[in-house]
Amino acid sequence: MDRVEVDLKQEIARLKRERDAVILAHNYQLPEVQDVADFIGDSLALSQKAASTDAKVIVFCGVHFMAETASIICPDKRVLIPDLEAGCSLASTITVEQLRAWKKEHPDAVTVCYINTSADVKAECDYCCTSSNAVKVVKSIPEDKPVLFLPDMFLGAYVAEVTKRKNIYIWPGECHVHAGIRPSLVLEMLKTYRDAEFLIHPECGCTTSMVYYFGNGNGNGCVVNGNGNGNGISCNVKFLSTEGMMKYARQTSAKRLIVATEVGILYRMRKENPDKEFIPISSDAVCKYMKMITLDKVYRSLRDMVYEVKVPEETARRARRAIERMLAIN
């Protein structure tokens, strides 16, 4: 750690005390940003953590929809994001106008949006969900009701496969990072690391194919191509959210794990589990938007109290309803 980084971290600590602030960092953030955070985790859990603190200011080191979610859950707090340009390729695949038009095509449908959406989109939906509870949310909806699931087509396809629901319509959106994690890449890694456990995020482009390979929605042990063609691969695969991955990494007795999600999560995994080896499914799985938040920008955000993210009251109220319906199911 160089002198500049040390000085910045000290200044950030001082400003946190002066501003009565907490710093939240998503699992995909740069290591030095995670190091100054009060809480590290996935987007919804971080907002819930913020709501439970007495701090007046929240500095959200993540992407824009996450700061919006914090504003929705914590309307009495000032929410800052260190870079307004830190967007989300998945959230941007659907606008509120597109959603309204889609709903008109299916007037009887129940609308379920992934947490990776804008506040305006959440406000138009009946339920919100995360990657860890999407299946549970959809299962809670009466089977005779059509479901519009948005915006991630891979998570949606995963939910459809696990629930066996035939009346679910899926928006064709994707995360540019997770979409690049294809079945061929996973199968190649399975052959290379036969002794490893595999942790796969449901947003990945490989997910639905992997569910078919593994024969169930749990991924608890499998044989890939084990049909007499000589290419059988024994494996242990889990489909997990980022925080689910963190929890599993702490609990498993396995010493080698392949991680199929954005590479930023590896820093925390290795820090919390120094006796285990964590291998990225691809070193190219990098979110350029997450990496826009730097230590210098965190410092400037606290120093100048920029950039505030505030969701209009009526939008926040309607979006909060979708989130609360999800939490009630949990």
For residue 125, say whether it is annotated as part of any ligand binding site.
Answer: no
For residue 202, say whether it is annotated as part of any ligand binding site.
Answer: yes
The single-letter code of the amino acid at 121 is V
For residue 116, say whether it is annotated as part of any ligand binding site.
Answer: yes
For residue 26, say whether it is annotated as part of any ligand binding site.
Answer: yes
Nearest by Cα to 81 from 312, 295, 298, 304: 298
For residue 88, say whether it is annotated as part of any ligand binding site.
Answer: yes
Report whether 148 contacts 112 (CB < 8 A): yes
* Planar angle of CA 240, 242, 248, nearest 5 degrees: 60
For residue 203, say whether it is annotated as part of any ligand binding site.
Answer: yes
d(CA 190, CA 235) in angstroms, rounded, equals 7
Please write down the HEC assignment for all residues of the chain. CCHHHHHHHHHHHHHHHHHCEEEEEECCCCHHHHHHCCEEECHHHHHHHHHHCCCCEEEEECCHHHHHHHHHHCCCCEEECCCCCCCCCCHHHCCHHHHHHHHHHCCCCEEEEECCCCHHHHHCCCEEECCCCHHHHHHCCCCCCCEEEECEHHHHHHHHHHHCCCCEEECCECCCCHHHCCHHHHHHHHHHCCCCEEEECCCCCCHHHHHHHHCCCCCCCEEECCCCCCCCEEEEEEECCHHHHHHHHHHCCCCEEEEECCCCHHHHHHHHCCCCEEEECCCCCCCCCHHHCCHHHHHHHHHHCCCECCCCHHHHHHHHHHHHHHHHHC
For residue 43, say whether it is annotated as part of any ligand binding site.
Answer: yes
Q: Which residues are annotated as a binding site?
A: 26, 43, 88, 114-116, 131, 175, 201-203, 242, 287
Q: Which residues are annotated as a binding site for iminosuccinate?
A: 26, 43, 114-116, 131, 201-203, 242
Q: Which residues are annotated as a binding site for [4Fe-4S] cluster?
A: 88, 175, 287
